[in-house]
């Protein structure tokens, strides 16, 4: 089996909208999701419902506290399945607007805190 194929790392992608954060890790080649954490999980529903019903209404329901919890959950799930190294799409992260970078940073920090290496995040100007 002596091929020259370089082993690819699992890809960490973060999808953000004003109402939802999803952090997912996919397998190389097949792109099937192996771990995911999202604000659609039952744990987050009471917080999101409370923010929807407050006055004056806000169009952005996500904050750093929620992003931190998403990072913690994803990091633990990756550790449980034995994935200790992931990579990011560096160019995709560089193009992220500043208001989204503020949510990505705590996700990356807490995935790292769980013992997962994120290849490429160290080069990000916003402290990934």
Mean of the pLDDT values across residues 13-18?
90
**Is residue 128 in a domain?**
no
End-to-end CA distance of the chain: 36
Which range among 1-10, 31-40, 63-72, 80-89 shows the weakest confidence by mean pLDDT?
1-10
pLDDT tens across 84-124, in order?
999 999 999 999 998 888 889 999 999 999 999 999 988 88
Return the CATH number at 99.
3.30.420.80
Using alpha carbons, select from 23, 22, 6, 15 the residue that is nearest to residue 116. 23
Task: Evaluate whether residue 97 is within a structural domain.
Answer: yes
Structure tokens at 111: 């995935």
Q: What is the mean pLDDT of the chain?
A: 85
Q: Does residue 3 belong to any structural domain of this protein?
A: no
Total domains present in the chain: 1
In a domain, residue 96? The reply is: yes
pTM of the model: 0.83
Q: Is residue 16 part of a domain?
A: yes
Range of the domain at 79: 10-123
């Amino acid at each position: 089996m002596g091929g020259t194929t370089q082993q690819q790392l699992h890809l960490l992608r973060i999808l953000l909208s004003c109402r939802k954060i999803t952090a997912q890790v996919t397998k190389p080649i097949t792109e099937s999701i192996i771990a995911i954490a999202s604000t659609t999980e039952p744990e987050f529903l009471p917080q999101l419902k409370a923010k929807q019903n407050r006055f004056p209404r806000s169009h952005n329901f996500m904050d750093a506290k929620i992003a931190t919890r998403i990072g913690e959950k994803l990091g633990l799930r990756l550790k449980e399945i034995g994935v200790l190294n992931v990579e990011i799409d560096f160019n995709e992260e560089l193009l992220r607007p500043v208001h989204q970078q503020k949510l990505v940073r705590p996700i990356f920090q807490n995935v790292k805190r769980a013992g997962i290496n994120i290849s490429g995040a160290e080069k990000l100007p916003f402290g990934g």
